[in-house]
């Protein structure tokens, strides 16, 4: 039996579920297993779980329960937001504003709309992967119907000033709708869509130690979108189909647990990020993407980014080769967005921030959680210091 220790540093791709979440999901699968649309006792029991869970999620966001639509995850939430707004507002305008920092779950639907005759403007970020509110607002027109800006970038961890972006854009066009993909931000940084003037916001369960296959979309007003699925009328026809009660219950519990520990988790993960970044920068020819100054990691959101993501390039080494070399040591990392790894290409995000040519194929993403230890980081840095010089020698031959 292989007893090799595993160090999991791919939490931006997915997280290990909390034990309590696993127990909650199992309980709903085996005990509260009724269909929430059924009128008998088992159905009412499941409907109660559904209502309780939606109130839990809504409470964390400080919004009303009827603004939460449950989906199969972040991708569906993004698609529902983008296609839903496009269908509802296409007679008002056919212009959309976004950036190449976005997840494929946003970029692909937007590209589909462009093929259908919509006009898309892509705003350029700065070198740290941050969009400036005035730049986004400058792209807004009278016929702009939607702006989509993610809260935390899934590849380099840059944090967007979504509240300021929304305010600036609505000053130009009060009718414009603002969508934010908050999959990497939910329960990790404070998010309150009403306060931040966000009209639509997407979430996912498996990024916060909850189940896979469940997520949510916040809608400030359900009338702002048209459904893209049609069926039995569940969730006020906005997203029909029998609700995933066990997944939703687990998602709500995970969100509550994450929110309760948010402040402590932020400080702890920032200390891990500093430890890892300094270890990486001690290796020759390395670069941290998204840092205001790659030679140091400042203590600010703008220069530091999200607490749980470090994107680093190891020049002269193929990211894929380094990934598998680390895997042989029991260290699991990513070479970019897991959602696009089956169709590898140069990262749109790295190109958007003007990454050096040598960095485009040599970038590794490390992402951690509260389950990550300082020893995990120390072992990872030690492995990198040993592997990178060796791999560079082989590559340069």
Kindly state whether residue 382 falls inside one of the protein's structural domains. Answer: yes
Predicted local distance difference test score (pLDDT) of residue 56: 96
Kindly state whether residue 325 falls inside one of the protein's structural domains. Answer: yes
What is the average pLDDT across 275-304? 75
Q: Where residue 297 sits, what CATH number does that domain have?
A: 3.90.1150.10
- Whether the predicted pLDDT of 117 surpasses 90: yes
Kindly state whether residue 374 falls inside one of the protein's structural domains. Answer: yes
Q: Could you tell me the two tokens for 250?
A: 């687990």
- Whether the predicted pLDDT of 292 surpasses 60: yes
Domain that holds residue 359: 7-16+262-396
Predicted local distance difference test score (pLDDT) of residue 321: 95
What is the average pLDDT across 151-168? 96
What is the average pLDDT across 100-125? 97
Chain centroid to Cα 182, Å, comes to: 6
Write out pLDDT tens, residues 195-217.
Answer: 999 999 999 999 999 999 999 99
What is the average pLDDT across 320-332? 97
- Whether the predicted pLDDT of 61 surpasses 90: yes
- Whether the predicted pLDDT of 345 surpasses 60: yes
Predicted local distance difference test score (pLDDT) of residue 93: 96
Quote helix, strand, coil % in the chain, to nearest 5.
45, 15, 40
Kindly state whether residue 348 falls inside one of the protein's structural domains. Answer: yes
Helix (H, G, I), strand (E, B) or coil at 281: helix
Distance, CA of 225 to CA of 299 (rounded, Å): 39
Q: Could you tell me the two tokens for 267?
A: 């400080």
Q: How many domains does the chain have?
A: 1
How many CB atoms sit inside 10 A of residue 382's CB? 12
Predicted local distance difference test score (pLDDT) of residue 394: 77
Q: Among candidates 44, 336, 79, which has minimal Cα distance to 227?
A: 79
Kindly state whether residue 110 falls inside one of the protein's structural domains. Answer: no
What is the average pLDDT across 3-28? 94
Cβ-based neighbours of 229, under 8 Å, separated by 6 or more: 239, 240, 241
Q: Could you tell me the two tokens for 34?
A: 């009724």
What is the average pLDDT across 178-197? 96
In the chain, the percentage of residues whose pLDDT exceeds 70 is: 93
Q: Among candidates 154, 249, 264, 163, which has minimal Cα distance to 210?
A: 249
Kindly state whether residue 182 falls inside one of the protein's structural domains. Answer: no
Residue numbers annotated as active site:
339
- Whether the predicted pLDDT of 343 surpasses 80: no
* Core vs surface per residue 128-167: b (16+ CB within 10 A) or e: bbbbbbeebbebbeeebbbbbbbbbbbbbbbbbbbbbbbe
Kindly state whether residue 288 falls inside one of the protein's structural domains. Answer: yes
Which residue carries 């109660």 as its tokens?
48
Kindly state whether residue 149 falls inside one of the protein's structural domains. Answer: no
Q: Where are the alpha helices (DSSP H) in 90-180?
A: 104-115, 133-139, 162-172
């Amino acid at each position: 039996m292989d007893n090799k220790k595993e160090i999991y540093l791919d939490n931006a791709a997915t997280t290990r579920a909390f034990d309590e979440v696993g127990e909650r999901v199992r309980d709903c699968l085996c005990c509260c297993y009724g269909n929430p649309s059924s009128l008998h006792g088992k159905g009412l029991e499941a409907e109660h779980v559904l209502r309780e869970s939606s109130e839990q999620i809504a409470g964390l966001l400080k919004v009303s329960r009827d603004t939460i639509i449950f989906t199969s995850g972040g991708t569906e939430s993004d698609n529902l937001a983008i296609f839903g707004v496009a269908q509802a507002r296409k007679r008002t305008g056919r212009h959309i504003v976004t950036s190449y920092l976005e997840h494929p779950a946003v970029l692909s639907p937007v590209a589909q709309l462009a093929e259908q005759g919509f006009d898309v403007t892509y705003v350029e970020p700065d070198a740290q992967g941050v969009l400036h509110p005035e730049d986004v607002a400058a792209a807004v027109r009278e016929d702009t119907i939607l702006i989509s800006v993610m809260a935390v970038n899934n590849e380099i961890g840059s944090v967007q000033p979504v509240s300021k972006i929304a305010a600036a854009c609505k000053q130009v066009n009060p009718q414009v709708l603002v969508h934010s993909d908050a999959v990497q931000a939910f329960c990790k940084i404070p998010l309150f869509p009403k306060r931040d003037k966000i009209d639509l916001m997407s979430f996912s369960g498996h990024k916060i130690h909850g189940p896979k296959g469940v997520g949510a979309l916040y809608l400030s007003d359900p009338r702002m979108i048209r459904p893209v699925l049609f069926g039995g009328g569940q969730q006020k026809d906005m997203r029909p189909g029998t609700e995933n009660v066990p997944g939703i219950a687990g998602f709500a519990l995970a969100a509550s647990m994450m929110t309760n520990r948010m402040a402590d988790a932020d400080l702890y993960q920032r200390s891990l990020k500093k430890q890892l970044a300094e270890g990486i920068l001690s290796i020759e020819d390395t670069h941290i993407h998204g840092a205001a100054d790659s030679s140091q990691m400042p203590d600010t959101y703008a220069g530091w980014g999200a607490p749980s993501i470090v994107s680093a390039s190891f020049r002269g080494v193929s990211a894929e080769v380094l990934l598998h070399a680390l895997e042989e040591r029991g260290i699991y990392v990513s070479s970019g967005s897991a959602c696009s790894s089956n169709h590898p290409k140069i990262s749109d995000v790295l190109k958007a921030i003007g990454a050096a040519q040598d960095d485009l194929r040599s970038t590794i993403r490390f992402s951690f959680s509260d389950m990550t230890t300082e020893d995990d980081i120390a072992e990872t840095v030690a492995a990198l210091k040993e592997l990178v010089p060796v791999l560079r020698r082989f590559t340069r031959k």
